Amino acid sequence: MLFWILVAVLTAVVGAVLLYPLLRGAKEAEDRRSGEAEVYRDQLRELERDLAGGLISAQEAGYARAEIGRRLIAVAKEEKTEAKSSAHGSYRLAQAFIVVVLPAVGLCLYLVNGDPGLPAQPLEARLEKPGNDLAISIVKIEQHLAKNPDDAKGWEVLAPIYFRTNRIGDAELAYRNVIRLLGPNAARLGDLGEVLVVKANGIVTAEARGVLQQSLALDAANPRTLFYLALALEQEGKSADAKTAFEALAKQSPPDAPWLAVVNEHIVKNGGQPTAPVNDKAPGNPTAEDVAAANALSSGDRQQMIRGMVDSLDAKLKQDPNNFEGWMRLIRSYAVLNDRERAADALKRGLAAFPPDGSEGRQLLALAKELGLPTEVKQQ
């Protein structure tokens, strides 16, 4: 019962706030017209004084009196018209809409989507039992860390969650705290380096490279670190060095490595040829025979063959869009072929199949940032 009393009171308050400008507007219009009429009456009285004092002639006074009278009649007509049309017309409709329609619509929406019988659940109670609510779990951990900023485990749990939910600044702070409290290792430095790359919209900055080189010193075979350092060479325009670095990563990668297709795309982008077969079972990936055939072709024929493979993957995704790896590969492929328009279109279609608020959608957007593609397509 208390709930409905509060709802009624709030509705009345909101209605009064919305009605006040309308009522004030009508009163101001009425006051303005009354003021104008009073001015004209004062002018008539002043005119009579001037005539009595001999300041103007009777003829001039007659002309002036007629003009003032005409204006006074016009004001009276306008005041009467406003009283009928505004006060009793649009103002009345607006007032009825606010008083009747808005509360009725709000009540219907609440009865459809709300639950008046649901017991109150303050924030503290929800924090005690967050259940599957990720947002509440994050708040609970954040509150704990605010009181215990040196809890390394809490930062270690929170850092990847921040990264997956695209809170990049918070992820950077969390990873730095993990390294501060637990010390650096290859994985932690690699995580921080990746966050710095994403923070810079896919650019391997000098700071990110320094962190990644520290990670590489602790684990010389880490494929993620090797990839980003090779990408840094590519972004600096050192195509030969980048090709060599990507080729070395491809050679050390297992044949079914999920990153191998991307590495081979960067090898081609920097003027090389794919040096290792990729997982034949992945839809749209070139087989070992495809790679061998591509190596035997001229540069122009090789580009035509690659274009045909990309078009084939595009056609498969149109028939079966529920293929996340396929969309990642297609977007990268169009970017490698310098077909940014088709890459952006592929991103748009991929986000239609995997919305931006999901983990796959966020990965698609992160890839778009890395490739320098516009991410506004997510709003379409």
Q: What is the 3-state secondary structure (H, E, C) of 326-337?
A: HHHHHHHHHHHC
Report if residue 185 sits inside a domain: no
Residue 109: give the domain boundaries: 2-113
Range from 202-206, 273-277, 328-332 carrying the lowest mean pLDDT = 273-277
Report if residue 91 sits inside a domain: yes
Overall average pLDDT of the 25-39 stretch: 60
H helix runs in the chain, sequence order:
2-52, 58-85, 91-96, 102-113, 123-128, 134-147, 152-164, 168-182, 186-199, 206-218, 223-235, 239-252, 260-269, 288-295, 299-319, 324-336, 340-353, 359-371
Overall average pLDDT of the 93-114 stretch: 68
Is 70 exceeded by the pLDDT of residue 65? yes
Is 80 exceeded by the pLDDT of residue 282? no
Cβ atoms < 10 Å from Cβ of 266 = 22
User: According to the model, what pLDDT value does residue 310 have?
Assistant: 79
Range from 90-104, 128-142, 174-188 carrying the lowest mean pLDDT = 90-104
Overall average pLDDT of the 351-355 stretch: 91
Domain count, the chain: 1
Q: What is the mean pLDDT of the chain?
A: 76
What are the phi and psi torsion angles at 277 (to 5°)? -70, 155
Give the confidence band of 32 by pLDDT, cuts at 50, 70, 90: low
Give Cβ neighbours of residue 344 (< 8 Å, ≥ 6 apart): 373, 374, 377
User: According to the model, what pLDDT value does residue 113 have?
Assistant: 66
Report if residue 328 sits inside a domain: no
User: According to the model, what pLDDT value does residue 276 have?
Assistant: 45
Overall average pLDDT of the 105-122 stretch: 64
Global pTM exceeds 0.85 = no
pLDDT digits (tens, 9 = 90+) for 259-269: 788 888 899 98
Percent of the chain scoring above 90 in pLDDT: 25
Report if residue 301 sits inside a domain: no
| Token pair for 130 | 């967050």
Report if residue 15 sits inside a domain: yes
The CB-based long-range contact list for 353-362 (8 Å cut-off, 24+ gap) reads: 353/321, 353/322, 353/324, 353/327, 354/324, 354/327, 359/164, 360/324, 362/164, 362/165, 362/166
Range from 51-60, 322-331, 347-356 carrying the lowest mean pLDDT = 51-60
User: According to the model, what pLDDT value does residue 95 have?
Assistant: 61
* 3-state secondary structure at position 254: coil
Range from 17-31, 138-152, 304-318 carrying the lowest mean pLDDT = 17-31
Is 80 exceeded by the pLDDT of residue 231? yes
| Token pair for 218 | 């602790």
Is 50 exceeded by the pLDDT of residue 22? yes
User: According to the model, what pLDDT value does residue 133 have?
Assistant: 62
Report if residue 362 sits inside a domain: no
Instruction: Give, in order, the Cα–Cα distances in Å from 1 to each of 5, 116, 283, 365.
Output: 6, 10, 60, 48
Give Cβ neighbours of residue 28 (< 8 Å, ≥ 6 apart): none
Cβ atoms < 10 Å from Cβ of 2 = 6
Report if residue 377 sits inside a domain: no
Report if residue 332 sits inside a domain: no
With vertex at residue 9, the alpha carbon angle to CA 6 and CA 15, rounded to the nearest 5 degrees, is: 140
- The four Cα atoms 270, 232, 227, 215 give a dihedral, to 10 degrees, of 160
Is 50 exceeded by the pLDDT of residue 296? no
User: According to the model, what pLDDT value does residue 175 have?
Assistant: 95
Overall average pLDDT of the 191-207 stretch: 92
Q: Give the span between the Cα atoms of 33 and 72, in whole angstroms.
A: 10
